[in-house]
Amino acid sequence: MQPVQPAAATTPEQAPQTPSGPGVVRVWRATSATAVTVLDGLSPACVPFAVWWDTEAGRRRELRTPEHREAWIAARHDRAVASVAVARARSQCKTAREASANPLAARRRAARLAAKAAKGRRRAARAGVKTARVTYPASLYQPALQAHAVHAVPAGLVSWLSSQDWPVEMSAGLLGLHAAGLWLGRRHAVVAPAAVEEAVSAEERQLLDRLDPEYWTAHAAGRGLAGTLTTPPTVGPGGIRCEVRLDGTWTVKALAGKTDSVRALLGARTALRLRITGGARGGWAILTLATRHATDGQSAAWTPARIPADPT
C-alpha cells in the first residue's frame, strides 16, 4: 500500500486576462466615431420622409376634433339607414313581382320608384361618409399598420407553409426600414460650426489678400517696409491677426512707427483699428486688424443672470 502524499497547496485561480484598458477605449471611440459618421451621412436622405410623416401626422391630429367626429358618426348613421331602406325597397319589389306578373302594374311601378329613390339616398350617404372621413381622418399609424399587414400576414403564412424563414425576415426588414427611416430623419446630425474664414466679408478678403506673403514681398519696398515679411494671416473672433518677421534693423517699435505705411499698403480704412505688438519671440511682430468684435453674435440684453453673485 503506497503512502498517501500530502495534498499540494492550492493557489487562487488567476483572473482571466482582459485587454488593455486604453486599447479598448481607443477601439470603442473609433467605432463610435465611425458609426456616428455613417448615421450623419444617412440622416439627410431620410429627412424628407420624416418631415412628410410628421407633417401628415400633425395635419390628421388637428382634424380629429370632436365636431368632425360627430359629423363622421352622423354620416355613417345616415349611410346605414339608407342601406336599410334599399334592402326594404328590394324586398318590396320582390313581393310586388310575386303578386303580379304585369311589369306595368301600379304596385310594381311604385316599388321600382321607391327602390330607385332609396339607391339615390344611399349613394348620397356614401358620398357624405367619404367627405366626413376626409375631415376626420384616421391616425397615420392606422393606415401604416394596414399597409404593413398586407405583406406581414402573407409572409407569415408562406413562411409557415414552406418552413422557410426568408419571407418573415423580409417582412420584418420592411418594418425595420420604416422605423429606421423615421429615426434617422428625425435625428439631428451634429453639424460642425462653419470656419470663420468661410464667412469673411469683402473688406476682410481684400486685407487677407494683401497680407499674403507674396503680395507683401512684392509691394513692401514701395512703402518703405523692405525687410519685413508676413506669414499667412488668420481670422478670429476679434478680426485679422498676422505675424510679421522683422529682418535687419527692424524692431517692433520701428514697425509701429510705420503704421500709416502699413495701412496704405493694405488699403485699410482710416477708422479701422490697427495694432502692432511684439511677438512671442524676438524679431517678430503681431499685426492685428480689428475688423470684428469678440462679442459679435452675442446678445447684449440684460438678464438676471448677469447680476454678479454676492461675495462670500
How far is 33 from 190, CA to CA, in rounded Å? 12
* Cell 399587414 found at: 149
pLDDT at 312: 44
3-state per-residue secondary structure call for the chain: CCCCCCCCCCCCCCCCCCCCHHHHHHHHHHHHHHHHHHHHHHHHHHHHHHHHHHHHHHHHHHHCCHHHHHHHHHHHHHHHHHHHHHHHHHHHHHHHHHHCCCCCCHHHHHHHHHHHHHHHHHHHHHHHHHHHHHHCCCCCHHHHHHHHHHHHHHHHHHHHHHCCCHHHHHHHHHHHHHHHHHHHHHCCCCCCCCCHHHHCCHHHHHHHHHCCHHHHHHHCHHHCCCCEEECCCEEECCEEEEEEEECCCCCHHHHHHCHHHHHHHHCCCCCCCEEEEECCCCCEEEEEECCCCCCCCCCCCCCHHHCCCCCC
Whether 173 contacts 148, CB under 8 Å? no
Whether 112 contacts 93, CB under 8 Å? yes
How far is 243 from 292, CA to CA, in rounded Å? 18
pLDDT at 294: 55
Per-residue pLDDT of the chain (312 residues; tens, 9 = 90+): 455 555 444 444 444 555 556 667 777 888 888 888 888 888 888 888 889 999 999 999 999 999 999 999 999 999 999 999 999 999 989 898 888 888 888 888 888 898 899 999 999 999 999 999 888 998 888 888 888 999 889 988 988 888 888 888 898 899 999 998 888 888 865 545 444 445 788 888 999 999 998 899 889 899 999 999 999 999 888 889 999 999 888 999 999 999 999 999 999 999 899 999 998 888 899 999 998 875 444 444 556 655 555 544
247-257 residue pLDDT tens: 888 999 999 99
**Considering the entire predicted model, what is its pTM?**
0.46
Whether 236 contacts 288, CB under 8 Å? no
Amino acid at 135: T
| Residue 242 β-bridge partners | 287
How far is 202 from 232, CA to CA, in rounded Å? 18
Quote the cell numbers at residue 271.
Answer: 477708422
Cβ atoms within 10 Å, residue 34? 10
Whether 256 contacts 276, CB under 8 Å? yes
Output phi, psi for 275, to 5 deg.
-125, 140
Whether 118 contacts 89, CB under 8 Å? yes
So what CATH class is 197-289?
A: alpha beta
280-301 residue pLDDT tens: 888 899 999 998 875 444 444 5
Task: List the chain domain ranges.
Answer: 65-135, 143-175, 197-289
* Cell 482571466 found at: 16
Whether 140 contacts 178, CB under 8 Å? no
How far is 259 from 254, CA to CA, in rounded Å? 9
